[in-house]
Copies of this chain bind each other. A is one copy, B any other.
Amino acid sequence: MNTRRPRAKRGQGEHLRTEILDAAEAILHETGSADKVSTRAVAQRVGCSSPSIYLHFPDRAQMLFAVCERQFELLASQIRVAADAEPEPVDRLRAIARTYCEFALANQEQYRTMMMDTIAGAAYEQTLEAMRTELGFDVLYETVQAGVDANVFAAVDPLRASFNLWCTVHGVVSLMIAKPSIEWGDDRALYEGAIDQSIVGLLARPSGPLTRKVEATQVAAKKVAAKKAAAKKAGAKKPGATKTAAPPTAAKTGAARTR
């Protein structure tokens, strides 16, 4: 209204930008719905007028993208850390995939806007290219490659195998995110099962020269079975991660809009 926002100093125009991002992130977190992150809502929270946002972002979409990107920057490092904690390719692969799933379910709206919405256009193409490293795909690829080299995995094309694993993992979390009203059961058991099965499919076949590897296959398979049983028993969900975005509320209130 009348209370003008104190103007930033000459070089400090960027400050409002981060303020906008903070506000948008807060709204996204509170409402659990990207739809609610409107330019006006953000502006009101920041304490500026809505056109001011266009001083720093060409688009509402780009603003939202920037918000999500901030979160996604953590993903690669999380994956890297999780991967480095496991020396064996199989465990390493599992750790990578698990971290990816946990991240997606802990940041559902961010994951949705980045990975399940179009938000395309020329500006985002290269950003998505960059996301290949942000998503930790490199780590995944390296791990598969290492597994193939060590004859732990079958001699498949590592790029293709990595992509397929990515697809599976994305598939399960995106379904869970897109359809929160479905009775999925234990989230964790669900994606762990999908991961396990994908990895099993990747393991070296006994056809090769090494019969010793057959044993490895068997061991891994047994491990998988045991894990499944354990997961099935544990009815309780992981404490913090899944419910951050509160999807049911979002579904009732906000999601009736276009998206």
Instruction: Tell me how many chains of this kind the complex includes.
Output: 2
Contact across chains for B180 and A118 when beta carbons are under 8 A apart: yes
Asked if A90 is at the interface of the complex by the 8 Å CB criterion, the answer is no
Contact across chains for B214 and A117 when beta carbons are under 8 A apart: no
Which of chain B's residues have a CB closer than 8 A to the CB of A257? Answer: 61, 258
List A residues 161-179 near B (Cβ within 8 Å). 161, 163-164, 166-172, 174-175, 178-179
Asked if A1 is at the interface of the complex by the 8 Å CB criterion, the answer is no
Asked if A205 is at the interface of the complex by the 8 Å CB criterion, the answer is yes
List A residues 226-252 near B (Cβ within 8 Å). 228, 247, 250-252
| Contacts from A to B (Cβ < 8 Å) | 34-35, 59-61, 115-122, 124-125, 128, 156-157, 160-161, 163-164, 166-172, 174-175, 178-182, 190, 193-194, 197-198, 200-202, 205-207, 214, 217-218, 221, 228, 247, 250-252, 255-259
Contact across chains for B194 and A164 when beta carbons are under 8 A apart: yes
Which of chain B's residues have a CB closer than 8 A to the CB of A167? Answer: 168, 171-172, 175, 194
Contact across chains for A178 and B118 when beta carbons are under 8 A apart: yes
